[in-house]
């Protein structure tokens, strides 16, 4: 079964593909353009974005969309729902500058996935990974905020881990696991 992943981020596609393909779900990148709404929650961004896609594409194909955010406690949850924009504009260096001399470095990565199931409609899956912001960028694996995020219980940033190590605790994979459990009933024996 093939699921079209509506995103322009090949890194996300690769991360999810590695987790779903062994269970019989192909994941294909779909560069369909849509208006990304600005909202206060990841759930609202996904529900409204999927609504637009469903209106244009119809309900007869498998497709998904995700949104993720890095929520830093001492910055009041910033960058949160604006994480992609902040990454493009000030990047990891800008976040580290904002965090200079900040002792409370706790943060959480969150992902929300919307999945259209033909004949069933929209389902939403949430995942998260708690951790902290490092004092400097470390590692060259992954993408986005991976070089500055240290998951709880580890000393390495996501960018210092292998893909398999990261996937064991990734916020996105947490949501994908929940989606995969939901999809188990759709796999042919």
Which residues are known to be catalytic? Answer: 67
Angle between helical axes of 171-183 and 10-20 (0-180°, round to 10): 50
> What b/e sequence results for 98-111 when a residue is b if at least 16 CB atoms lie within 10 Å of its CB, and e otherwise?
bbeeeeebebbbbb
- Residue 168: CB partners within 8 Å, gap ≥ 6? none
* Residues facing 117 on adjacent strands: 121
Q: Which of 21, 28, 22, 20 is nearest to 4 (CA)?
A: 28
């Amino acid at each position: 079964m093939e699921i079209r992943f509506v995103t322009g981020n090949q890194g996300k596609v690769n991360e999810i593909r590695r987790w779903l393909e062994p269970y019989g779900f192909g994941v294909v990148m779909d560069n369909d353009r849509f208006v990304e709404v600005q909202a206060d929650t990841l759930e609202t961004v996904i529900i409204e974005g999927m609504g637009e896609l469903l209106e244009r594409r119809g309900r007869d194909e498998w497709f998904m969309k995700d949104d993720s955010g890095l929520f830093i406690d001492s910055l009041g949850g910033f960058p949160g729902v604006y994480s992609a924009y902040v990454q493009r504009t000030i990047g990891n260096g800008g976040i580290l500058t904002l965090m200079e001399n900040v002792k409370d470095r706790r943060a959480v990565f969150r992902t929300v996935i919307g999945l259209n199931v033909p004949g069933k409609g929209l389902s939403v899956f949430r995942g998260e990974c708690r951790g902290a912001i490092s004092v400097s960028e470390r590692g060259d694996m992954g993408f986005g905020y991976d070089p500055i995020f240290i998951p709880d219980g580890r000393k390495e940033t996501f960018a210092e881990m292998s893909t398999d190590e990261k996937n064991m605790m990734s916020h996105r994979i947490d949501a994908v696991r929940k989606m995969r459990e939901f999809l188990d009933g759709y796999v042919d024996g």
